[in-house]
Structure 1
Amino acid sequence: MPGIFDNDTMDGEEEEEEEMEVDEDDVEPDIEICFGDDIPLGEGDDDEDEGDVLPVSSGDEEDDDNLQYEDIHPWEAPAPIPNHAPAAAPAPLLEVEEPIPNPQGRQHVEDALRQDIYVKQYPSQLAGKPTRQADGPFASYGTNMVNNPYAPFPSEREWLIARWAKLRGPSSTALDELLKLDGVAEDLHLSFKNSRELNKIIDDLPAGRPPFRCKEVIVGGEAFDLYYRDALECVKALYGDPNLAADLIFKPERHYTDADETMRMYHDMHTGKWWWDTQRNIEEDMKKKTDDSDDLAVREAGPPGTTIIPVIISSDKTRLTKFKGKSAYPVYMTLGNIPKGVRRKPSLQGQILLAYLPTSKLEHIPVAAARRRAVANLFHGCMERVLQSLQRAGEDGVQMTSGDGVVRHCHPIFAAHIGDYPEQVLVTGVKTGECACCTVPAKELGDHAATHPFRHLEAVLAALEVADPFARAQACKAVGIKPIQPGPYWQHLPYANPYKSITPDVLHQLHQGVIKHLVTWVKTAYSQAEIDARCRRLPRGHHVRVFTKGITSLYQLTGREHADIARILLGLVADMPLPDGMSSVRLVRAVRALLDFLYLAQYPVHTKDTLAHLTDALNRFHANKVIFIDLGIRTAWNIPKLHFLRHYVYLIERLGTTDNFNTEYTERLHIDLAKDAYEATNTKDEFPQMTRWLERREKIFRHGKYILWCLAGQPRTLTSHLVSEQPPDRVKMTKHPSKKSVHFDKLGTDYGAQFFIDALARFTVQHCEPTLTPAQIENKAADVVFPFASVPVYHKAKFWLGDPDHHHLASNEFDVIHATPSRRNKRGQPVDGQFDTAFINDGHGGYSGVAGYRVAQVRVIFTLPPRAASLFYTANQPPPRYLAYVEWFTAFTVPDPNHRMFKIKRVVRNDDRLASIIGLRSIRRSVYLFPVFGPIVNREWTSGNVLDRAGAFYVDSFSDRHAYHTIH
């Protein structure tokens, strides 16, 4: 089978996988996997090139618009002449109409996520029970550093130079050349004269994580190297990291939105059902062991405590070079005790590199079936060796000390394996084209109505225990797995169930899976020239990428690029007709359903109701997917990734939300722990150098934490990383305006604020006399004369989207609204102006939903000159510091029943746009608008003028995850 070793991908790219079936000879003789002696990883010579160069983004805000737009004025073909008539009726082929969405119902579901949390503790004192108090943080770091926290570096300067050299500095050769310059080492008073001496100092630092070992693996007569760490020692290192101690979770909980415990919540792993159920199972087993003990003292004392440590494994092969073909197969470990908000931050080192597996495709084995089997056997044999120390520790428990010095009796239990689909197939032992979790036949993956149970673990384990090779192969075939020799790595891990440990994967299953398929189907269904023409004419927005060359010619897209396309896909197809007059209603509904599933699946907290919406979204897709068969695009739906979506609800309830397990984190770790490590070598015999480089890097990080702890006074209680730092102001502005003074005439010609003076006069009167009627305001405003003719102008404003009192539901903490006139860039090319549209609170808006909100286009962000305040405003009623001139759109009505977007138009009176000046704080966030293109987009429209020329717009709720939570 094309297993994990054939999936050589980068940055979330993945091989296409459809309904693949593999016909393997299940009784083909296995290639024996043998392990040799440990290979010492000695001091040796340091041949590595230890450059660690991090990408630095440009700080030029004026050129930000040039970073994500391929061309400013791209060429395109003329509009085609329509060769088909649009559908006469909106939905003549639908037998059942979908109900019109209820925004109020959705708002109720969203608001429930922000209710106070009612916590039900696990009803046992054994969970998380401390057994004793040991020494505090960094107790094992040594006493020789008491007087000098920087030791063995004699000064802070030398420590900072050493840290820079190892984390941000040049290569070893460049560092040597620098230190050889006359007077450099002497003037800096350095105790090391070259990189070799610096490495020796770092090597002598106390290690917080176990060293790497090397084991020789012999497969089919050829030897390969396995580089790994002891898994139990890695668990202890993560669990005992003082930097993580304040945030560790020690026992399961059930969270509810109400005191009656009717609406359960799921977010971090300890709120899922797995931890609660496993806690109960372990306590029952430990009680039985205690009761059956021959030692009276043991029976009287009872179980010493049962603190579960959920072990989360992730693995993925990655390329180290683009042209030389070198690759690495890293395996990472983290713990469910570490909150997801900490685990996903690489800077906090909540993950640890556990192993580099052999990357060979075993091409020396001539028979393809035997080679595939040997690849699987090699993977499981290596993983079993890496994780073998967890077997007894998981069953009997082991004393572990957390970073604050508290000792508990802990059970490290394999809980989850994170990987893409080929990795899931490899881990579970099923065949490619099958579901890694349930027993559905490969040819029935597309039958959404049928239900199939998860694979029966006891039956699988029984088949693996059969001694006779032929009978074992037949028994394994009967339960739907491959006869892995000597057995899968999870076979002897206590309380492990791999078929319920495969986690949802937003990157590969959604962005690089079903969304990738959906984009392909849409491109096949519609005119590709029309799709690209619409892409070019989408307005610019902070969260939305404008594909000025279209999307139909793109290939080898990353997960990020598919996410960018998902933001605009619904707007492209909302009113585009299908060929031959066929109704597009079912296609639009299918697109909307999958986008709903994509965004709902990424919620950082779920309830019973949000999971019901997730299920409804999947059901709506399956109810409308037949349109792709009618169009001849699909013939069947046997796609493993699409099928796996039906398991999301169960797995979220079991293990927590999807952001606990996203493979995007693995892709990020590849950069720090594989690619950067490789760049630090001389590219020859690289893995010994990579492991040595990583060990030194980890020592530098640990020493830095120790120094900070010492400088803080060696506190017993450490600081949590989950404390939300709310900015002092929700609106963040630059210190100085973009333009210190813009004349009123310029505001009209360059910014489009044609009625700025009139609007400012009305605002002034209304602010000073809020009880006046609109007619009275107009009469008084006509008499207002301003003694100034210009105002300071800002070209953008930032808005904090966070919610410090509740779960963070924002995908980006800050949103940006631009109000920038046209200009020329550094190359003399014209750059269109950008005047974003905003979601404005009229004073009655809530946290979510459109009630109490209006959409307006922001033309000018400004502040009044200081002297204006004293002339027109009293000290008791000062004006807002920042103001905005906006042009209004019509109020929200009801969403369209098919694409479920709100339709709005500009408010025009006597052929003039209705404009006002408002306080900038009235703006909640930006909002993205799709032009209503019609059957064929007007080729005179451009991305820069479409907001002025289009007659109507759809309000997009997919521009980012916060918008999806808010705009409905």
Structure 2
Amino acid sequence: MHLENSPNPACQTLLRQLDRDLSSEDDSAGEEVPKHSVRNCWHNEHAAAADLFPIHPTGDYFGDYHDPSTFEGLLDEDINIPSDNPETLLHLDPPLDNSIEEDMDNTEMDEDDADNVELEDQRFFEIERPGAPNMPTEATTDPGNPFKMAFESESTLAPLTPQPDAHSQISGTYLKPYIVSYGKSAGEPVSASVPAQDQYSSEVFDDQNIYAPFSSKLEWEVACWAKFQSHLSATAVTELLSIDGVVDKLGLSFKNSTELNKLIDANLPSSRPPFKRVPLILGGEVFELYMRDIMECVKALFKDPEFAPYLKYAPEQHYTDDTCSVRLYHDMHTGDWWWDTQDQLDKTKIGPGSTIIPIILSSDKTQLTLFRNKSAYPLYMTIGNIPKEIRRRPSSRAYILLAYLPTSRFSHITNQASRRRCVLNVYHACMSLILAPMVKPGLKGKNMANGNGVVYRAHPLYACFVGDYPEQVQATCIMTGDCVECPVNRDQLGEFNLASATDLWRKLSPLLDALKKVDSDPVGYRKQAKALRVKPILDPFWKALPLANIYQSITPDVLHQLYQGVIKHLVSWITEACGAAEIDARCRRLPPNHNIHLFLKGITSLSRVSGKEHAQMCQILLGLVLDIRLPNNISNIPFQRAIRCMLDFLYLAQYPVHTSKTVSLMEEALAEFHKHKHIFITLGIRNNFNIPKLHFASHYVRGIKLYGTTDNFNTEYTERLHIDLAKDAYHATNHKDEYTQMTRWLERKEKMARHRQYVAWRQQIGISLGELDGERLNWLVPGLDQRRFLHLAKYPAKNASLESIQSLSTYGAIHLLPALSRLIALTNNPTLTRAQLDREVFNTFLPCRSLNVWHSVKFLREDPLTKQKMTADIIHVHPETKDGQGRRVPARFDTVLVNERSTGTEIGVRGRRVGRLRVVFELPASVIQTMFKNPLQAPRHFVYVEWFSSFSSQPDKVTGLYKVSKMFIYSQSLDQSHRIPGVAARY
């Protein structure tokens, strides 16, 4: 504008020179110069970069940039030119499907924002920490031209609407395994009978009322509310129904909880066996065992119609391909135990054609009350024919409460040795009584029908015992402090020997032979037990079980052995090595994240830490010690490597699918830990590593090969069952003769659950079998984390002005307008040269003053079995605000991992880059219609990202992590229309 209007001859000469330069450049590019384009003129200090900016920065045909009325304050006055694109605009279109979440951005404070408020409240003076590192922050830049464009490999986001379900996504992504079947008639049906639903229907069927024996749908729903609502007492139900007019207006046939219980007891069939009370007398004192018939429990699980489409009847060997070179392990039927046991069973007199039902037992004593020291000892059972993805869900009812074992401490016995012996004898006597009915069917078989009425010759065989170390010791009768699987000396538990950990087992046959002669030679049995370091129990529950090996049946337990065992020790060692103050201070410095718990008060002072909390600690543990200094200037390299290797083992152990290669990675990680564990001895923290739970980690690989992955067996599942089947049951009683009331409460709840299943089946009778069961019969990848689906709230959080979006005090998207202009230009014409692109950016004006913005982006995942959608992750993008109580909620702009140019791989960081989201917004429909050549295909939703430095080619050799840092921005003050914008990329 100045050159065109200036009468100065020098300015006129420069203007003509610029016109010639621009004309020649445009002619070479084959483009016509717009009539109203404005030429470029730079001050002397910017002359070196003038050839990069062929457009005048002070105005265009939309108006004079020096006139405030043109933009009315929508643009900042000063900007910085970054090196190598520290900010990029990504578009998230075609438009997202917002049908699932009506409004995720509600005004109420969510859990993550509550953490932010707590974080703000926790800002207090930090104590002096001797030896704390004081390393300056490095401002790094990517090499190369600071004005380098990032649009050479532009990509667009794949359509997200309509969203395919997770099952089809997974089936199309993961190859099905190559399966080698056992054959030999194993798992083949022998006859047919009436399906389970038809049997149940014959007892309750009413042609006019599918809810019978309940009179109506409303009465049925009231009954469900009364029986399934947590912490709802019978007194509360009675008081509600006693309100004048409630029963009449609802049309209920029962007037109180007692009448409801009578209705359930008299009219609903029992799908699971009732409990029976067995008195035990020891030393003149009576103890009570509440137990069920285990064979009836097995039948109930085997014929449950919900499980029928998924049951496994024969062992299989899974491989990645038909070369059978890489073995797969996941569900129990893919392990070696089922295959080997099937082979042993076929060699007996019964012959081929049998169907093994692996019995999985789990027990763990639990506290029922915080006071009075009231406890329960529930024993649970399930069968290995049910896939683990169903077994692990408490709502699937795949576990049955088999018994309440006695919890007496036998305080009337004064001698401690005698008392311990009595406790063990009573435990095994109760277990023998419970398991006795399955001894004969285990060998000879018994016909059982599944939920579809198909009959198999079933052999229920004891397979696994799941429990914490005290329960393992009690079941195996070994000496406390020894390994429950191998005969290694307790003083050598800390030594890692891969060969012995894989091949060496405790000897069972000599003990069983001695037990057979115990009546004639009790001294010989005692000597044999002492030699094997086993307690001389006369009647262990496993001695008569067919094809059972108690030592091989002990399974890995991630919860108690790793999280509550090894990790618990590791956290205490780290605290002692680094100091509690330093560790807690580093915990407070971590940024918030949806999937990471913030320990704002540190982790060293916590007591009664749960397994879930230890799992949360593991997410940050390595980050806490990255650059930490050890006492006496001892090198922290073995310290970090030991921690890293144990965390590697922990996470590898939890793989839902293992291969013969990944189990080797587990062994390598554990071997590396033992290689570097000497650092804890050097620091004076440990004298030895003779810890049974740490030693048992060396047996994890063979446990996986025998029974499948560790998520087949985890006390975490039974810990959850304690709430439903023990604690809730106890709270429903009047605390007098509680076990009788607890068992009746559970039986009624099971009847209601079975009837609810039947009602759902009656409602689906009109649906074709193909629609109902066709898809779920297909092969599913067991336990793999499903793909994430991106979803925005239906309505934006607010409408923000462009000024506030670009302001550093709010959203901080300071380069938003030029980045958006560049994206629009490239979308309209991807073949633009750099000079043409700069000119298009300059000639672009956004015809709006505000944008709709979102403060969070959710990633959902769909359960392939239930089709239920769950939140997998949330990205928070909001400036500082206040909650409903007026407390300050700090600004939060989460980091994301971006598939920068659609070249990212499923595994690793190749093609991906870390960035910080600054704003998520949409363009109004009118703007899209005006600015884009093809409005129907134009993107609508966008995110503005600040880049971190790119990943290096290799991770850190010690920690295995990649180091990134914020991109450094040069402080050159230029006009806002020449900020370096980014380009659309794919998530």
Please tell me the TM-score bracket, short chain as reference.
0.7 to 0.9
Between the aligned residues of both structures, percent identity stands at 46
Q: Do the aligned partners of 1:72 and 1:548 also contact (CA within 8 Å) in 2? A: no
Aligned partner (choices 605, 610, 625) of residue 573 of structure 1: 625
CA distance in 2, matches of 1:916, 1:800: 30
User: Judging changes above 3 Å, is the alpha-carbon distance between structure 1 residues 75 and 382 closer, same or farther for their aligned structure 2 residues?
Assistant: same
Matches within 5 A, 1:692-707: 692-707=744-759
Q: Do the aligned partners of 2:182 and 2:314 also contact (CA within 8 Å) in 1? A: no
2:842 is the alignment partner of 1:782:
yes
Q: Residue 67 of structure 1: CA displacement?
A: 4.8
Matches within 5 A, 1:269-284: 269-284=332-347
Counterpart in 1 of 2:387?
Answer: 339
SS of alignment partner, residue 799 of structure 1 = strand
Matches within 5 A, 1:292-303: none
Deviations 1:608-659 (A, max 9, x none): 1111111111011001000000000000000001000000110001100011
More off after superposition, 771-780 vs 497-506: 771-780
SS of alignment partner, residue 430 of structure 1 = coil
Counterpart in 2 of 1:792?
Answer: 852
Matched letter for residue 657 of structure 1: T
Q: Do the aligned partners of 2:309 and 2:777 also contact (CA within 8 Å) in 1? A: no
Q: Do the aligned partners of 2:112 and 2:592 also contact (CA within 8 Å) in 1? A: no
SS of alignment partner, residue 347 of structure 2 = helix
Q: Do the aligned partners of 1:510 and 1:598 also contact (CA within 8 Å) in 2? A: yes
Counterpart in 2 of 1:661?
Answer: 713
More off after superposition, 631-640 vs 59-68: 59-68
SS of alignment partner, residue 905 of structure 2 = coil
Q: Do the aligned partners of 2:786 and 2:861 also contact (CA within 8 Å) in 1? A: no
SS of alignment partner, residue 666 of structure 2 = helix
Q: Residue 880 of structure 1: CA displacement?
A: 2.8
Matched letter for residue 522 of structure 2: P
User: Judging changes above 3 Å, is the alpha-carbon distance between structure 1 residues 636 and 804 closer, same or farther for their aligned structure 2 residues?
Assistant: same
2:260 is the alignment partner of 1:260:
no
Q: Do the aligned partners of 1:840 and 1:855 also contact (CA within 8 Å) in 2? A: yes
Unaligned runs of 5+ in 1: 1-57, 88-110, 291-302, 924-968
2:886 is the alignment partner of 1:825:
no
CA distance in 2, matches of 1:912, 1:413: 77
2:272 is the alignment partner of 1:212:
no
Q: Do the aligned partners of 2:575 and 2:604 also contact (CA within 8 Å) in 1? A: yes
Aligned partner (choices 491, 494, 497) of residue 543 of structure 2: 491
Counterpart in 2 of 1:891?
Answer: 950
Matched letter for residue 587 of structure 1: F
Matches within 5 A, 1:2-81: 62-65=109-112, 67-68=114-115, 70-74=118-122, 76-78=124-126, 80=128
CA distance in 1, matches of 2:713, 2:226: 33
CA distance in 2, matches of 1:60, 1:466: 75
Matched letter for residue 792 of structure 2: M
Q: Do the aligned partners of 1:891 and 1:904 also contact (CA within 8 Å) in 2? A: yes
2:234 is the alignment partner of 1:234:
no
User: Judging changes above 3 Å, is the alpha-carbon distance between structure 1 residues 521 and 416 closer, same or farther for their aligned structure 2 residues?
Assistant: same
Query: Which structure exhibits the higher relative contact order, with contacts defined as CA atoms closer than 8 Å and separated by 6 or more residues?
Result: 2
Counterpart in 2 of 1:154?
Answer: 215
CA distance in 1, matches of 2:338, 2:437: 21
CA distance in 2, matches of 1:86, 1:166: 59
| TM-score, with structure 2 as normaliser | 0.80
Matched letter for residue 477 of structure 1: K
Aligned partner (choices 291, 307, 314) of residue 244 of structure 1: 307
CA distance in 2, matches of 1:343, 1:752: 48
Aligned partner (choices 527, 533, 546) of residue 598 of structure 2: 546
2:686 is the alignment partner of 1:634:
yes
User: Judging changes above 3 Å, is the alpha-carbon distance between structure 1 residues 250 and 911 closer, same or farther for their aligned structure 2 residues?
Assistant: farther
Matches within 5 A, 1:391-430: 391-430=439-478
SS of alignment partner, residue 308 of structure 2 = helix
CA distance in 2, matches of 1:230, 1:546: 47
More off after superposition, 613-622 vs 117-126: 117-126
Counterpart in 2 of 1:598?
Answer: 650
Q: Do the aligned partners of 1:113 and 1:606 also contact (CA within 8 Å) in 2? A: no
2:921 is the alignment partner of 1:874:
no
Q: Do the aligned partners of 2:112 and 2:593 also contact (CA within 8 Å) in 1? A: no
2:220 is the alignment partner of 1:175:
no
Deviations 1:56-106 (A, max 9, x none): xx997523235557553325554537469999xxxxxxxxxxxxxxxxxxx
Aligned partner (choices 236, 239, 252) of residue 190 of structure 1: 252
Q: Kindly report the root-mean-square deviation, in angstroms, between the aligned alpha carbons of the 2 structures.
A: 2.8
User: Judging changes above 3 Å, is the alpha-carbon distance between structure 1 residues 507 and 260 closer, same or farther for their aligned structure 2 residues?
Assistant: same
CA distance in 2, matches of 1:244, 1:885: 48
Counterpart in 2 of 1:457?
Answer: 508
CA distance in 1, matches of 2:525, 2:895: 65
Matched letter for residue 270 of structure 2: A
Deviations 1:748-793 (A, max 9, x none): 2311211111221122122222233455433421221101021111
2:982 is the alignment partner of 1:922:
no
Q: Name the larger-Rg structure.
A: 2
Q: Residue 217 of structure 1: CA displacement?
A: 1.2
Q: Do the aligned partners of 1:861 and 1:883 also contact (CA within 8 Å) in 2? A: yes
Q: Residue 912 of structure 1: CA displacement?
A: 8.3
Unaligned runs of 5+ in 2: 1-104, 136-169, 974-978
SS of alignment partner, residue 110 of structure 2 = helix
Aligned partner (choices 416, 428, 432) of residue 368 of structure 1: 416
More off after superposition, 724-733 vs 147-156: 724-733
Matched letter for residue 611 of structure 2: G
2:641 is the alignment partner of 1:589:
yes
Matched letter for residue 891 of structure 1: S
Q: Do the aligned partners of 1:840 and 1:853 also contact (CA within 8 Å) in 2? A: yes
More off after superposition, 379-388 vs 141-150: 141-150
CA distance in 1, matches of 2:188, 2:514: 38
CA distance in 2, matches of 1:602, 1:570: 18
Counterpart in 1 of 2:574?
Answer: 522
More off after superposition, 871-880 vs 822-831: 871-880
Counterpart in 1 of 2:730?
Answer: 678
CA distance in 2, matches of 1:263, 1:271: 13
Aligned partner (choices 656, 661, 683) of residue 609 of structure 1: 661
User: Judging changes above 3 Å, is the alpha-carbon distance between structure 1 residues 182 and 786 closer, same or farther for their aligned structure 2 residues?
Assistant: same
Matched letter for residue 841 of structure 1: N
CA distance in 2, matches of 1:744, 1:803: 42
More off after superposition, 73-82 vs 361-370: 73-82
CA distance in 1, matches of 2:869, 2:682: 37
CA distance in 2, matches of 1:750, 1:435: 59
Q: Do the aligned partners of 1:217 and 1:224 also contact (CA within 8 Å) in 2? A: yes
User: Judging changes above 3 Å, is the alpha-carbon distance between structure 1 residues 79 and 770 closer, same or farther for their aligned structure 2 residues?
Assistant: farther
CA distance in 1, matches of 2:369, 2:972: 59
Q: Residue 828 of structure 1: CA displacement?
A: 2.2
Q: Do the aligned partners of 2:818 and 2:980 also contact (CA within 8 Å) in 1? A: no
Aligned partner (choices 520, 527, 539) of residue 474 of structure 1: 527
How many residues end up aligned between the 2 structures? 824
More off after superposition, 502-511 vs 163-172: 163-172
Q: Do the aligned partners of 1:130 and 1:407 also contact (CA within 8 Å) in 2? A: yes
Matched letter for residue 389 of structure 1: P
Q: Residue 115 of structure 1: CA displacement?
A: 5.0
Counterpart in 2 of 1:905?
Answer: 965
SS of alignment partner, residue 937 of structure 2 = coil
2:809 is the alignment partner of 1:758:
no
Counterpart in 2 of 1:203?
Answer: 265
Matches within 5 A, 1:710-749: 710-713=762-765, 719=773, 730-748=789-807, 749=809
CA distance in 1, matches of 2:413, 2:625: 50
Deviations 1:129-161 (A, max 9, x none): 111111123232225514122111121111111
User: Judging changes above 3 Å, is the alpha-carbon distance between structure 1 residues 457 and 778 closer, same or farther for their aligned structure 2 residues?
Assistant: farther
Q: Do the aligned partners of 2:197 and 2:305 also contact (CA within 8 Å) in 1? A: yes
Matched letter for residue 748 of structure 2: R
